[in-house]
Amino acid sequence: VKRNLKQIISSDPISVFVTAFLLFGVCAFSGIFLSRALNEAAIFWPANAAIVWLGLYIGYRYLPALLSGVLLSNALMQIVFGDPAAVAVGLPLANAVGITTLLLTLRFFGLGLRSIGDTGKALLFFGVICIAPLPAALIGAETLQLAFSAPLATTALHWWAGDVVSSIIILLPLLSAPRIARVSTPSATRRRVAAFEILAGVVLSAAGFIVLNAFGLPYSAGIIIPLLWVALREGVFLTALAGSIFIIFASVLLAFDLMHAANAELPLEEAIFELQIMSLLSILPAYFIAASINARNVAYINLAAKEKLAVQKAAELEVTLANMNQGMSCFDKDHRLTVWNRQYAEMFEMDLEKVSTGMAFLDILETQKRNGNFEGDPRDLLSKILEKTGAGESHRSETKLASGRIIFSVHTANPNGGWIATHADVTEKRNIEQSIAHDAMHDALTGLPNRRYHEQELTERAAKCQEEGGGVALLHVDLDRFKNINDTLGHDAGDAMLVHAAQVLKSIVRQTDFVARVGGDEFVVICDIKNNTEFLSAVADRIIAKMQEPVPYKGQLCRFGVSIGIALQKGKKVDGKQLLINADIALYRAKSNGRGCYEHFTTELHTEVMTHKQLSDEILVGIERGEFIVHYQPQINARTNKIFGVEALVRWQHPKRGLLGPDKFIDIAEDIDQVAEIDRIVLSQTLRDMADWKKRGVKVPHASVNVSARRLSDPNLLENLKSLKIPRGTISFELRESIYLDDEDDSVMWSIDQIKELGIDIELDDFGTGHTSIVSLHSVKPNKLKIDRRLIIPIIDDPSQLQIIKSVIDIAKALGIETIAEGVETMEHTRVLMEAGCKMMQGFGYAGPMNAEDLEAYINSEKWKAA
Ligand code: C2E
Ligand code: MG
Ligand code: MG
Nearest residue (CA) to ligand 1, atom 41: 650
> Which has more pLDDT, 150 or 522?
522
CB of 616 within 8 A of CB of 674?
A: no
CB of 48 within 8 A of CB of 102?
A: yes
Out of 631, 649, 795, 826, give the residue to mutate to test ligand 1, the one with the largest number of ligand atoms within 8 Å of its CB: 649
- Residue 738: CB atoms within 10 Å: 15
> CA dist 127 to 86, 153, 173, 708, Å?
32, 21, 17, 121
CB of 102 within 8 A of CB of 55?
A: no
Return the ∠ at Cα 595 (arms to 483 and 736), rounded to 5°: 90
CB of 51 within 8 A of CB of 24?
A: yes
**What pLDDT digit, counting tens, does each position of 184-218 carry?**
556 777 778 778 877 887 787 778 777 877 777 77
Nearest residue (CA) to ligand 1, atom 17: 823
Q: Please provide the DSSP assignment of 7-52 as one string.
A: HHHHH-HHHHHHHHHHHHHHHHHHHHHHHHHTTT------HHHHHH
Residues 520 and 815: their CA atoms lie apart, in Å, by: 51
> CA dist 796 to 46, 254, 527, 789, 809, Å?
154, 171, 60, 13, 17
What is the model's pLDDT at position 100?
A: 93
Structure letter (DSSP) for residue 259: S
CB of 281 within 8 A of CB of 164?
A: no
Out of 660, 706, 731, 842, give the residue to mutate to test ligand 1, the one with the largest number of ligand atoms within 8 Å of its CB: 706
CB of 401 within 8 A of CB of 373?
A: yes
- pLDDT class of 736 with cuts at 50, 70, 90: confident
Q: Which ligand 1 atom lies nearest to the CA of residue 734?
A: 2
CB of 714 shorter than 6 A to ligand 1: no
Nearest residue (CA) to ligand 1, atom 7: 823
* CB under 5 Å of ion ligand 2: residues: 706, 734, 765
**If you measure from the C-alpha of residue 789 to the centroid of ligand 3, how many angstroms do you get, rounded to a whole number?**
7
**If you measure from the C-alpha of residue 765 to the centroid of ligand 2, how many angstroms do you get, rounded to a whole number?**
5
- Residue 854: CB atoms within 10 Å: 14
**If you measure from the C-alpha of residue 663 to the centroid of ligand 1, how many angstroms do you get, rounded to a whole number?**
9
**If you measure from the C-alpha of residue 822 to the centroid of ligand 2, how many angstroms do you get, rounded to a whole number?**
9
Minimal CA–CA distance to 338: which of 318, 360, 363? 360
What is the model's pLDDT at position 184?
A: 55
CB of 651 within 8 A of CB of 628?
A: yes
**If you measure from the C-alpha of residue 705 to the centroid of ligand 2, how many angstroms do you get, rounded to a whole number?**
7
DSSP H/E element including 576: helix 576-592
Identity of the residue numbered 199: L
**N- to C-terminal Cα separation, the chain:** 138
User: HSE-up of 649 (CA within 13 Å, CB side)?
Assistant: 22
CB of 670 shorter than 6 A to ligand 1: no
What is the model's pLDDT at position 525?
A: 96
Nearest residue (CA) to ligand 1, atom 14: 843
- pLDDT class of 390 with cuts at 50, 70, 90: very high
CB of 666 shorter than 6 A to ligand 1: yes
**What pLDDT digit, counting tens, does each position of 497-538 carry?**
999 999 999 999 999 999 999 988 999 999 998 877 788 999
* Count of all residues that appear for the chain in the document: 867
CB of 636 shorter than 6 A to ligand 1: no
φ/ψ of 567, rounded to 5, equals: -130, 155
Catalytic residues, by residue number, are 521
* pTM assigned to the model: 0.49
Residues 762 and 755: their CA atoms lie apart, in Å, by: 8
Q: Which ligand 1 atom lies nearest to the CA of residue 788?
A: 3
Highest mean pLDDT among 61-65, 207-211, 586-590: 586-590
